[in-house]
Structures are given as C-alpha cells and as structure tokens.
A and B are shown apart, each in its own frame.
Chain A
Amino acid sequence: MAMEVTQVLLNAQSIDGAVRKNAEDSLKQFQEQNLPVFLVSLSGELANEEKPVETRKLAGLVLKNALDAKEQHRKFELVQRWLSLDGNAKSQIKACLLKTLTSLVSDARSTASQVIAKVAGIELPHKQWPELIGSLLSNVHQLPAQAKQATLETLGYLCEEVSPDVIDQDQVNKILTAVVQGMSSSEGNTDVRLAATRALYNALGFAQANFSNDMERDYIMRVVCEATLSPEVRIRQAAFECLVSISSTYYEKLAPYIQDIFNITAKAVREDEEPVALQAIEFWSSICDEEIDILEEYGGDFTGDSDIPCFYFIKQALPALVPMLLETLLKQEEDQDQDEGAWNIAMAGGTCLGLVARTVGDDIVPLVVPFIEENISKQDWRQREGATYAFGSILEGPSPEKLIPLVNVALTFMLSALTKDPNSHVKDTTAWTLGRIFEFLHGSVVDSPIISQANCQQIITVLLQSMKDTPNVAEKACGALYFLAQGYEEMGPSSPLTPFFQEIVQSLLTVTHREDAGESRLRTAAYETLNEVVRCSTDETAPLVLQLVPVIMMELHNTLEGQKLSSDEREKQSELQGLLCGCLQVIIQKLGASEPTKYVFMQYADQIMGLFLRVFACRSATVHEEAMLAIGALAYATGADFAKYMPEFYRYLEMGLQNFEEYQVCAVTVGVVGDISRALEEKIVPYCDSIMTQLLKNLSSNQLHRSVKPPIFSCFGDIALAVGEYFEKYLMWAMSALQSAAELSTHIAGDDELVEYTNSLRNGILEAYSGIFQGFKNSPKTQLLIPYAPHILQFLDGIYMEKDMDDVVMKTAIGVLGDLADTLGSHAGSMIQQSVSSKDFLNECLSSEDLMIKESAEWAKLAISRAISV
C-alpha cells in the first residue's frame, strides 16, 4: 500500500523554487489524504538501500516532524495522532526503522535512530512497543560495527526522549551494561566507542540505582575516566562531558574519585586541545555550582536536613586548583572582547576562578594576590590583563574585611590604568573590575566605605572619560557607573552623586548618540545606567529628573519620524523605542512616587500617552512590551484621569492580551489591566465585558504559556475589587475557572519548578478570591458568594494539609480566610468554625516569624471573631 515518494522528495530539495513549492504542496496533500499510507511510504523510503541518500534522509526528517513539534500544543496533537494511527501501519513503520539501523549508509542510520527515539518517546509511556529495548540490545552484540554504533546512538536518543520512570530497572541495567561496554577501551571501533560515550551522557539520569551500588559505580567511573584518555579527541571531549554531568547529578558519590579526576582534568587543562580543556574546566565550575548551592542552603535556614552534605571538594583542591586556573588566564585571544560569541580557555578559567572565590570565600585571597602583584605591571598586556581579571574575579565571595584593604590600594591604580593603559583589552577588564568593586564593596552593606568625598570626583571623571573609549570599554564604564549609583541607593536624603548628576546624565545621553553605540550593546548599557541613576536619585535632583522627561520624549518622538523602513531598520527602531519607553517607565515610576513631583510631571502625561500610542501604531500585529510596561506606570501615576486615554488605548490592550506567542507581552499586559483597574475603579466597567471575555479565553487556551495564568487570576481580583458588585455578571464564570484551577493546585507532585509554579497559581487564585470578597463587601449581593464558601474553605484546608505552600501563599491564604469571614459574616460563622484553617492554620500563621503573614493572620482572626460573635 506504499506509494512512490522518491521523486517528490527529490523535487522538494530542488534549487528551483517553483518545483520545490510544488513538491512541498504534494507532500502536504499526501499527508492530508491518507496519513497512514504516507507515513509508511516515508519509512519505506528511509529503509530502502537502493534509494538516494538525500531522499532517505528527507523522508526520515518528514517522518520525525510528523511525530514532534516545538510548540507544546502542536506536540500534543501529534502525539494523539500517532497513538490513534492504524496499528498495522505503525508496525510496518517500526519494522522499517529498525531495519534501517543496519544500513550501510550512515546518514540513514542516524536519521532512523532519531525517529525511533521519537516513537519511543510517545509509545513507552503508554506501555506500548515493549519489545523495542530488547530488540535494540540484541543488536548490540551483533556485528557489524556500524549497526552497533547506530544502536548505541539510538539508545542515547531514547534516553534523551524518555523519562527514567518509564523504563524498568532491569532494562536500565541492560542499557547501561551495553553502553558502558561499548565505551570501554577494549572496544576497537572509534565510532562505536564515541556513540557509546555520547549515549552514556544521556543515560546517566537513569543510573540512580547503579550509582548507589559501589561496584557498578566504580566500574562506570573507571570506564569514563579511561575514555578521557582516548587517543580520539571527540571521545575525550564526550567523556569529560559525562564527568561534568556526573558532577552535578551524583555530586555526593564523587569523594573516592575526586583526586583522580583532579589529575585528569589538570592534565587536560594544561595539555589537551581546547574543546577538551574547556570541558575539564567546566567540571570544576560545575562542582562549584553544587557546593555554592549546598552552602547557601546551610547558611539559610539551617535545619540540618539538607539532602546532600558538602564535601568541600573545592576547598581541598584549592592549593592546586587555583594555580591551574591562574595559568589559563594568560591564554587570552586577541580581540576576544569584540567577539560576542567568544568562549576560550582564559574566559572559562576566569569564570571558574570567580566561582571558586564564591565557594571558599577568604581562603582564595592569599593564593591569588601574589599572581596579581607579579603580573599587574608587566610589559606584556596578557600579564596585566590576566592579573586584573584575577582581581576582578575574586571580588565576590571573600569578606569585605579581607578585600577592602586590597581595594583601597588597587583603586588608584585601576583608575589610572583605565585612562592610561595602551591596551584596549586591559582597559576593558579594568573597567569591568571597577564595576565589580562597586557592585560588591560599595553601598550601605559595607561598613568602611571605599569611596570618599576625595576620590568620588576622580572616579566619576575617569568613568565619564572612558565612556568616550572604544565601544566595549565604554560599555564596561557604563556598567561601573551603574553599580556606583546603585551603591548610593537609600543612603538618605542627600547623595554624593548630586553634584555630578547633570554631568553624568549628559555624558550618558552623549553615549547613546555615538555612531558606534550599536556595538558591544553600548547604547543599551548607557540607557540602563541612566535608568539606575534615576532610580537611585534623591529629592535634591528631582527637578533635574523632571527636565529629563521632555528630552527622552523628544528622542522617542524622533524614532517615529522614519518612513518606509527596511525590516532591519524596523528592528533597530523597535529596539530603540524599547530603551526609551523603558527609560520613561523608570522616570514615571520615580516621579510618580511622591506627590509634588507627580503633580509637576502630570503636565506631560497627555503627550507621553500620545507617544506611546504612536509606538504601538508602528506595529501591526503585536504590541511593544516596554511601552506596555510604561503605560502601567503611567496609569498608576494618573489615577482615575487615565479614563480619558482608554478609548484609544483599549485596542492595544486587547492586542496584548491576545499575544500568546510572546507570552511575556501577554503577562505584562495582564499586569497593566490590574494597574488600570486600580486607577479607574468603577470607570473600567465599560471595558469589563471584553477584558473578562478575553481573560477567560486565555485561561482555557492550551496555547498560552502557563506562567501567564496565575497573573490572570490575580487580575480577576483586581477587577472585582475595582467594580464591586458589578462583577456579578462574571461571577459564575470566574468562580468556575477558579474552582477547577484550585482543584488542580491542591496537590503537587513534581520537581521544585512545579512546586514553585503551583504556589504561584495558588497565590493567583487566592488573590482573586480576596478581591472578589472585598469587592462584594457591604453590597446587597453578598449572599451570591455564600454557595462558593464551602469550596473555598476546603481549598484553604487542602493547601494547608499539603504542607508545601511558600510564605507568599501562606499570607494570601490566611487573608482570604479573613476576607471570607469579613464579607459573609455570620452567614459563614459555623462553616468557618468547622474548617481546619480557622484553627491550626490560623494559629500557625499567628505565630509566624514573617510579619506579613502575622499581620494577615491577625486581620483574619479579627474578622473571624466578628463573624462568630455577631
């Protein structure tokens, strides 16, 4: 029943556009007319040794695309389609795929491997294709080598596709045995050994039980370590990748091997080719990541029940590890700072050194200082740069007490190097290091300030001077200024930056106008620094911030002038508009926070809103996220007067809510709906029908990124609070959406990420309930809420019993209990008294250390006592 697809597939790769288009249409048509035949034909093409390699590959690719897609909802559809496909056709396809693994053509084998893994990814979780792993493993022990290589590759892909709980331990054991045997030095064929090593990388997640068994673990580790010594560079690289993966997955099992691994990695870092050396350094970076996490958990809330103890591998390796990393710092490439994609051994080594400093703190300082002293003034720029980079790298981690004496000595040197060093690379790193000094050692957290009135002037002069340097140096200087400003945040009514404010702002604006500001993200850095300078400014400079408003408005106005832009120009225009809207957002938020400045600022409101609307109009299908964020800030500052912008603005608001592809935009727009609800209160009523309809539609869509759903629920609360009993119209729909989400979010089973998501979902649901209760309070329609109370109390009891809510949810949840009691009063008295929440949960919250929780709990207690006593 198969059909001839060779010619169509050949045509689909034709250089003639018309032919290609025609062929693609035919393929689409086949697929729509008879999917099973189409897929069987493709698998037949792939398996047929007589067909040209390019059509076999393409047939496999089309087959693969019929099984999987990037978008979540499309993927789901394809999975369902495959599961309901005719069984006979599926058997034929699978047979063809397995047969292709023994092909002589390597591209055909490799394609088949990937397709098999996709099918396994769909079928194994449904307990289908149980014989797959068995038949693959029986292949492994067969010659020829190419079939063995293809099978190992298939196992590798399979482990990538399928989650470990789908495969039983017995089969895991067999897979691992086959893979590790394939990796061992006794395997003569390089391709087989490489395929096995890469397969192990994916299979490591399945090896929990095997890593708990000393003998099996010793065996796996020995084979991996041996593979790092293979004569074939790709095998060595793949073996180090395995070590990196082991370092995070099985950190707690590494103690017996760490000395050997150090020797292997040190040799690779010093002698091996760069791709291998980079992986060897990555091993230690990864160990640092683990230990930083563990130690952070220790330092935080010390409960003694941290899952994994710290083995202090980094501390033990320190005397040998640090010199090894310092050596790498001198292997810089020329011009690496101008190359966005650069990643070399010096960069990896410096990054690792920074992580080591964060892991061990003070201990690293005496090991690095001699290197800095020896190299910082050398003739060779590599030594000066390496020394500076080493200094910059260790500024996060060690205590201020340890670092400040060094910084006090180094600061003058750095400022002079930034102006005088002849090498751009050295200046780049020097400016970066100054930024790190200000980031970690300047500000209210540090007792003895490194910046005095005396050197403040000099620092600013040097940084402003450096902003005229090459784009990469200027960008770092902007970064340093960013942190300099940040350190003066909340320093009181008077900031040391005040005398320089005007000059700083002027210099930053000049940077944004540089011809080459598009390089090294210089323009972005300049605006970001301007934002931070504004955020951290004090009342003293408020008039100057006000003066900035028309300046930025004019800049934004200028971006709207261009006509007939190319797509490249359009992208640049949009990016610049983003930066300017971002800057206005920061300014609005700053000026809107105090009454006198808000009052003066409001004279610009109409014009600014006009500009934002024109920014929106630049695009046809999507809205500009930054403009949307800025409008949220404007709505907050404007209050009820914002109503006058609504007729024109509404369509963009709706467009933002409909933007599922760029879910960030959708999320930001949902937040702005909240801002507008609070600003307009009942004046939002005319827009409520369409907003609520759209929000409910969004909730029921499986195309919208899940992270947007919690804010949508919160937004229900904002609207209900704003419109009060008018919310009655939507009550049934909103409550039903809340109820089904509440049921889903009571029980969590899953990883940390899912727990975090579920908590954010709970918080959204609870904020919605709060808003609805408070919105209906004192209205004659309060009784409409009574039927929902039992479910809501049950939900509160449910999440309390689960014992996994975070502090934010706890605070919101206990507040909802209060709102329910407050609004329903005696109608809910006995219901409340019967709930667990009103006793154990409330008591737990009342004795919470968290003030916000305690405050909410006291409110709830009060509301309940009223509901019960009335």
Chain B
Amino acid sequence: MAPHDIRRPFKRAAISDQQKRRELSLLRQAQNRRDAQQQARCLASSILSLQSSAPESQPEQSDIEIETVPESEQESEAFSKDLDVRQASKLRGPEVRKWFARQLMLPEWMIDVPDRLAQDWYVFARPAGKRCFVVSSNGTTVSRQRNGSILHHFPSALPAGAKIRDGSGSGQSYCILDCIFHELDQTYYVIDMVCWNGYSLYDCTAEFRFYWLNSKLEESGACNAPSHYHKFRFSAVPVYNCDQSGLYAAYTGVVPYAKDGLLFYNKHALYQTGNTPLALVWKDENCSQYVIDTDGKGEIPSQQQVVLELQDDRKLVTSDDPPVLFGCLDRDIIEKSGLHTGNLLRFAIGDGGLSFADGKLEKADLIYLGKSNRARAFADSYSKVLFQFMVRHSPLKIDDLLASINSANDQEKTPSDIEMVG
C-alpha cells in the first residue's frame, strides 16, 4: 500500500474552460428544450380552441349604444379559420368586426334568479365604460371594442405588451383580456382573462380564470401606475362569492369606478363566446346610471323600444338562438317602407305591453317606428327586452336577490337541523 496522493490544485482556476464550454452548451440546450416545450404547450392548444370556439354566426347583443359606424358593411366570406390571435389583432375592416364579435362572452339579462346562487355563482360590480378585448403580442398592445374598432394602440406591462430589451416577450407569447375601459380614471378593468402569456384559458372554468387573473395580472406589473413602457393602468375588479355578504358587498361596496350593474358568473362555466345564460347582468338605480335604455339623444323614451329582426314569413324575432317570436309585421308596412328579410327594425311597446302564458311570451303590443341604426349588427335578445319591460313595470329588486339566497340557506339548514336532533 503506497502513500496516498494528497496534491491539490495549485494556482489554477477551479474549472477548466473546456468544462465551462461543455456546461454552457448543456445550459443552452436545456434552455432551447425549455423554449421548444413552452412553445408546444402554449400555442397549439390556444389556436385550436380559438378555431373551435368560432361558430359560424353569433348574434351580438347591444347593451351600450355603439357609436362607431364601420366604414363598410360588406361581409367577407374569406374569413380564414386558421387565423391565430396575433394575426387577428392585425385584421382590418369588417373581418375584424366579425372576428371580434364572435370572441366576447356576452351575459344575458337576469329575468329570474338562478338556483344555487350562493353556491355556484360569483358576483361583481360591472365598471361603466367601453367593453373591449385587449390583445398584447409582439411587443405591442391593442384594445378593440366589440365592433372591432381600435380604441388604443399602446405599450403595456402585459406579457409581450411592450418592446423591452430583456427579450422576455418572446415572439410566441401573447395575452387576450376581456376588459372594460373606464374613461374617468383611464383604466382598463379586466373582467375576464381569455389567454395569458400564450396559455389559452377558453376551456377553463370561471373559478380558475378568476384565480389566474388575480394572481397573474398583479405579478406582471400591469396594475402599476402608467409609465413610458406602460401607458394605461390595468386593474382587476373585486369578485365575490354570491352569498349574502358577497352580494351586499358588490352592490354597496365602494369601488374606484362608476358601476353599471352587477355581473353574475357561474363558477363552472367555461369562456363561451356569444350570449350565455351562465353569465348574467342585473341593474337597478342604485348601481347604474343606465337602467332604462335611452334613445339616440340620450333621453328616456316614454315607451320601451326594442329592435327585432324581420324574417322571411314577416315574423319578428329576437337575436336568440333559437329566436323568440314577438309577432308578425303587416304586409303594407313592409311594402311601404321597402323592407327586406334580415332588416333590423325598431318598435315601441304599446300600452298593451307583453303578455305571458305558462312563463312564455304570448303576445306583444308592437308599434313600428322604423329601421334601426346602421351600426346595429343584431336584434335585441329576449332577456334584454324582458328585463327592460320588467324595469318599467315590476323590477327584480336587490331584496329579491337577497331573499332568494336566504331562502336557499333556510332550505339547506333544515336537513342539518334534523340531523342534529336525531
């Protein structure tokens, strides 16, 4: 057994440059592998879900008057189904409008109180302002209203939302947020998150999307005060479980924005484009300035006005799928006014009002007023007409909502009481 060698490295750097080259190579490879994985994880699924979530035609419902008139009503048949979101944000004209009209999830109006409100629903105060999609990609951010017109084009702290040197905004990354732009404080209130940093959230439940929205938005720095690389502030809205205290908080709570009603989201609902009964809007005078629809001059007409679509057989229907029949238009009016199938027509509801049988509309007293504004793309929805009708006659009050939660609570408690005794 010979003595053991105890020589130590002398005047030498601990690592050889060759070893360093090997390690840097491995690091680069690992980074490239991560990027490749990341890209695979992000893009493919997002594009796929965008394609599948773009049905042929989706009626648009208008609860805020659209001011911008698109330059052309001409419809393009060549709408490519393979467009990805980043290309979509560069679309122009009617294609844009069509594309974006399809993309938003639109709440129905609350005409009765859903079951299990306290268990299955979220509630939050809807900011008053312009509903829009905010898309960040390739180092820029674009906000578009529902008719596709660009509201702002700006740098933001959203992922891929500004050109900054650190290169973190890789070409593959992008975000799509469902927002309301609030003029007064120049803030984008994010009410839903559709894609984040390349990850699609279309197929996620509202519960997950809201969790994601709250953690991610804050992390990104998008909620910070505006700066050179971040022109507008973003903000999440406080979302509550729709139990008694949550509903009360949403209704009365102080928020930095003007409220325009309350929005109710079913926790288990995916982001579904177009009208959905899994998101509901409700309002009264306490939480909205715009409870009763105004006319073009901003005045409340003495009689409720509705927009209906004229069909082949003179039927007047709503924008719902399937459409709800409101009546038939006289042949003379059609001939006299030169109306065609598909025209959107404005009516007042006369003193006869709406009458129901078995919870279904039986008869409506319609008075023809004329063609609707050219900017309108769709007729009113059944729930909107009904909500407006109820507002004028027997509104659904906040107390009704609270009461329905209470009675649900009572029902829930009863069996457990029995168990306690037993």
Contacts and interface: CB of A to CB of B under 8 A. Distances in A.
Interface string B1-44: 10110111011010011100110111011001100110011001
Nearest to B9: A351
A586 to B, nearest CB: 7
B284 interface: no
Contact of A629 (B25, B44, B268, B270): B25
A633 B29 CA distance: 9
A379 B22 CA distance: 46
Q: How large is the interface on B (under 10, 10 to 19, 20 to 34, 35 or more residues)?
A: 35 or more
Lowest 9 CB-CB distances: which A-B pairs, in order? A528-B17, A774-B40, A866-B203, A343-B7, A198-B1, A865-B208, A282-B6, A432-B11, A865-B204
A829 to B, nearest CB: 12
Nearest to B34: A852
A179 B34 CA distance: 56
A770 B37 contact: yes
A156 B204 contact: no
B251 interface: no
Contacts of B199: 859, 862
23 contacts: A201-B1, A201-B4, A343-B7, A429-B11, A439-B13, A476-B11, A528-B17, A532-B17, A585-B25, A589-B24, A589-B28, A668-B25, A671-B25, A674-B33, A718-B33, A721-B36, A767-B33, A777-B40, A777-B44, A815-B37, A819-B41, A859-B41, A869-B268
A524 B13 CA distance: 13
A241 interface: yes
A282 B36 CA distance: 49
A767 B37 CA distance: 9
Contacts of B21: 531, 582, 585-586, 626, 629
B255 interface: no
Interface in A314-360: 343, 347-348, 351
Chain A binding surface SS class: helix
Interface in B202-235: 203-205, 208, 212
Contacts of A527: 17
B69 interface: no
B32 A678 contact: yes
A770 B6 CA distance: 45
B300 interface: no
Contacts of A157: 1
Nearest to A285: B8
B334 interface: no
A482 B48 CA distance: 50
B22 A629 contact: yes
Interface in A795-851: 815, 818-819, 822
Interface string A495-533: 000000000000000000000000000001001100110
Contacts of B117: none
Contacts of B205: 865, 869
B45 interface: yes
A604 B33 CA distance: 26
Given A244-B6, A767-B33, A777-B40, A869 B203 contact: yes
B153 to A, nearest CB: 24
A698 interface: no
A675 interface: yes
Nearest to B35: A678
Contacts of A777: 40, 44-45
Interface residues of A, number: 72
B18 to A, nearest CB: 7
A865 to B, nearest CB: 5
Nearest to B196: A862
Given A678-B36, A862-B199, A865-B204, A778 B10 contact: no
A153 interface: yes
Given A582-B18, A774-B41, A869-B268, A678 B3 contact: no
A182 to B, nearest CB: 14
B201 interface: yes
A531 B17 contact: yes
A41 interface: no
A634 to B, nearest CB: 12
Given A439-B13, A582-B17, A822-B41, 13 more contacts: A201-B4, A351-B10, A633-B28, A678-B33, A771-B37, A774-B37, A815-B37, A818-B41, A858-B212, A865-B204, A866-B204, A869-B205, A869-B268
B32 A869 contact: no
Nearest to A636: B32
Contacts of B18: 578, 582, 626
Contacts of B32: 636, 674-675, 678
Chain B binding surface SS class: helix
Given A532-B17, A778-B48, A862-B208, A674 B1 contact: no
Interface string B170-211: 000000000000000000000000000001010111001000
A636 B10 CA distance: 37
A663 to B, nearest CB: 13
B28 A869 contact: no
Nearest to B6: A282
A153 B1 contact: yes
A664 B270 CA distance: 51
Contacts of A778: 44-45, 48
Interface in A695-754: 714, 717-718, 721
B50 to A, nearest CB: 13
Given A585-B21, A671-B26, A862 B204 contact: yes
A775 B4 CA distance: 53
A406 B263 CA distance: 68
Contacts of B8: 285, 348, 351
Contacts of B270: 869
Given A157-B1, A582-B18, A862-B208, A279 B6 contact: yes
Contacts of A626: 18, 21
B6 A671 contact: no
Given A582-B17, A777-B40, A632 B29 contact: yes
Nearest to B49: A866
Interface string A660-701: 000010001001001100100000000000000000000000
A429 B10 CA distance: 11
Contacts of A285: 8
A858 B21 CA distance: 33
A463 to B, nearest CB: 16
Contacts of B201: 862
B208 A675 contact: no
Given A241-B3, A633-B28, A678-B32, A861 B40 contact: no
A244 B199 CA distance: 57
A156 B29 contact: no
Contacts of B25: 585, 629, 632-633, 668, 671
A822 B25 CA distance: 30
Nearest to A432: B11
Contact of B1 (A156, A629, A865): A156
A432 B324 CA distance: 89
Contacts of B1: 153, 156-157, 198-199, 201-202
B27 to A, nearest CB: 10
Contacts of A241: 3-4
Interface in A573-605: 578, 582, 585-586, 589
A428 B21 CA distance: 26
A636 B28 contact: yes
Contact of A343 (B3, B10, B204, B208): B10
B362 to A, nearest CB: 38
A847 to B, nearest CB: 12
B33 A237 contact: no
Given A582-B17, A771-B37, A777-B40, A675 B6 contact: no
A347 B10 contact: yes
A565 interface: no
A143 interface: no
Contacts of A770: 37
Interface in A638-680: 664, 668, 671, 674-675, 678
A364 B22 CA distance: 36
